């Protein structure tokens, strides 16, 4: 059974940093494309970032324009854990952040775009 469990969310001031984690199990994490997707209050799902594994320790990462240069996606295959390092956080980054198994989805994200989702972790950016 595929399981994705996010953690690391919380309340942070504008300009601050957080690191989200997603513990994965039930599938071959090392070779799977993985993504972060978020949902701000009253808005739809927004793709944030994806990471692909091409070979041993060779990855490709992609980011939404809204987070490029501020967020970094990474993965630890030995721990089957996906990360999202978030710096220079803004109030508009406030959202429920989900880990999902799959790659880039540009434009409107639908629940069916990813087969497996975590339960989400809340990030609130406020002074």
Range in 50-59, 71-80, 89-98 with the lowest mean pLDDT: 50-59
What is the per-residue pLDDT across 55-75, written as a single tens digit (0 to 9) for each?
Answer: 777 889 999 999 999 999 999
* Overall size of the chain counted in residues: 127
Token pair in block for residue 87? 């710096």
pLDDT of res. 58:
80
| CA–CA distance, 26 with 4 (Å, rounded to integer) | 9
Q: Taking 80 as the threshold, does the pLDDT of residue 86 lie above it?
A: yes
Average pLDDT score over residue span 9-19: 98
Write the CA distances from 45 to 26, 52, 57, 59, integer angstroms: 25, 21, 30, 25
Q: Taking 80 as the threshold, does the pLDDT of residue 10 lie above it?
A: yes
What is the per-residue pLDDT across 23-46, written as a single tens digit (0 to 9) for each?
Answer: 999 999 999 999 999 999 999 999
């Amino acid at each position: 059974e595929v399981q994705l469990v996010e953690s690391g969310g919380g309340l942070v001031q504008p300009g601050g940093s957080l690191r989200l984690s997603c513990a994965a199990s039930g599938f071959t994490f090392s070779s799977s494309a993985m993504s972060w997707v978020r949902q701000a209050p009253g808005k739809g799902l927004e793709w944030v970032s994806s990471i692909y594994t091409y070979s041993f320790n060779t990855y490709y990462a992609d980011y939404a324009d809204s987070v490029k240069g501020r967020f970094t996606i990474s993965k630890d295959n030995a721990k089957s854990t996906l990360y999202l390092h978030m710096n220079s956080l803004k109030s508009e980054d406030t959202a429920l952040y989900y880990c999902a198994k799959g790659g880039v989805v540009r434009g409107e994200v639908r629940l069916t775009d990813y087969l497996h989702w975590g339960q989400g972790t809340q990030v609130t950016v406020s002074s």
